[in-house]
Structure 1
Amino acid sequence: MAQVPEGGSALKFSKSKGDWLRDALPKLVLSPSVAISMIFVYGFILFTIYLAFSDSRILPSYGWAGLQNFQNLFTLRAWNIATINLAIFAILYIGICCALGLLLAILLDQKIRAEGFIRNIYLYPMALSFIVTGVAWKWILDPGIGLEAVVQGWGFENFEFNWIKDRDMAIYTIVIAAVWQTSGFVMAMFLAGLRGIDQEILRAAEVDGASTFALYRRIVIPQLRLAFMSAFVVLAHMAIKSYDLVIALTNGGPGIATTMPATFMYSYTFTRNQMGVGSASAVMMLMTIAAITVPYLWSELRGSKQ
């Protein structure tokens, strides 16, 4: 009969202790960041939701107000303008970024010379903060020192481009600046999708006589569905929470012509001392983002399980 070594139990205990430490170490390392996220992200989200149903004004209050803040929110002209501006901005921003990003990705996918250099040029604006982008485009679009002044200095005295001062056109200057900064990032997403397409399928279609236009319309673009979905979710999220670009470029003006939900929320919470109404607007933004991201995450999880 085989005998168990005298130190066998101690060795087994040592191994189990080492396995426990190895399994617990990642959790111990990540626990501080998880705790901070739970408190300062999800905890404050819950606190904001509570404030939206309270009678808070200049300071948080714990009196229950029900849906009164939401009722007041939808009667405010500034909020209605902000939602209209968000719709205009989001539609143009997402649509132009996707179209321009796809076009640039297709052009770069033709194995052109200096592809890496050109790709970096397109991606460079994404490395800048929205504050820098807003200030730079504010100078470019300023009629006194920007594009209008330069073109008029070249002799075209009738040239006018004063959108940033026009109440009806100022929102489109934000679209221009945002598209300039983000289209390169969308291009990179589509380029990665293009490089993942099986080339054998494309060669077979070419042998069958498919034109370049039909090749992209029937084969390439349909296979970029996941890239389109990812780009839409990212761009929609950025559009809904747009704040720093608007502040740096137009500061919500002229007047309140370029007010967005994020700038409205900040103004009513910290400037107009209407914390309950401001929190209600933040909850509306959260619900809009959740309506976009939750179905996307659910589809991703379902696809991974399948």
Structure 2
Amino acid sequence: MPLHLLGKKSWNVYNQDNIERVRRDENAAKAREEAEEQRMQELDAERRMQILRGEIPTPLPIEDKKDHEEEPRERRSHKDGRERKKRKKAGENDTDFEMRIAAQESQTSENDRQIVLRKSIDAPLVDHAGHIDLFPQERPQKPSVEKNAEAEKEKERKKKEYEDQYTMRFSNAAGFKQGLDSPWYSKANPEAKAIDENNPGKDVWGNEDPRRKEREAARIVSNDPLAAMKLGAAQARQVKKEREQWRNEKEREMKELEAEERSKKRRRRSDGDDLEDDLEGFDLDRPQKKSRSSRRDDSDHERDKESRRRHRHRRRSERDEGDRHRSHRHRHRHRD
């Protein structure tokens, strides 16, 4: 009967304990690789941010040799492809042995985690001004050097004077180092201004020109946009006033015509009654006399003719006035 000794060997690759150990080591190695990859990505992101800020990027961290030196001999042998079998110490039972192995593995995993998560700097997130910096950097503190206040003030003054040679500020818009009472454009062509003040009634050639001031005032008014606006507003008010007057006259004439029509109707009714009374004593042999109604009709006809004549004359005058205003506005607009 053959002996089955293969399952009793510690190096048996098909042993369940060895299979679990291998899987555990593979999972731990995978976790270390992922943590290392994450750490490298964070370092790359930090270095890119420093380059964008114009700062000197942090050098890549050098692997800590001390940790590797203190690494257990079992770990180094495992990396070389060998692993020493853990043995019990003298006087150690199975429970103590398992607890010691678990503590060593947990301590090893904790050291690996600290190595992965360790940052190159320990700068605070909040600076001295209270601002939050998501990417803090340890900046070397410059030694405080006391500066001479007078020298700094003199340097600042010279710098400002140099900048004033090619820089225009709002405070100096009226003239460099001059008051605002006399800007540069107020002193343009002083000779012509002096000639105008000394000879107000003469032209540029020295001849007598008494109406020069009037022409100058008219020219200033004609070139003044505010005066043109005021003139246009006055003309608009005048046209509006004339239209109101024309409307009032038309209403008054219509009222007069309506009153005349009503009076004519009343007279016709009264004349009809008189005509009936006159027909009673009508005689062909008797010479015909104009009745009171016919005389009244003649007078009404004359009044109508006179009213129509006045109305035509008023409309003709209003039309001429409107044409004159339109031609005046056209000339004014053409001149602008």
Report TM bin, short chain: under 0.3
TM-score of the pair, normalised by structure 1: 0.20
Give the structure with higher Rg (CA): 2
TM-score of the pair, normalised by structure 2: 0.19
Q: Where is the helix percentage greater, Structure 1 or Structure 2?
A: 1
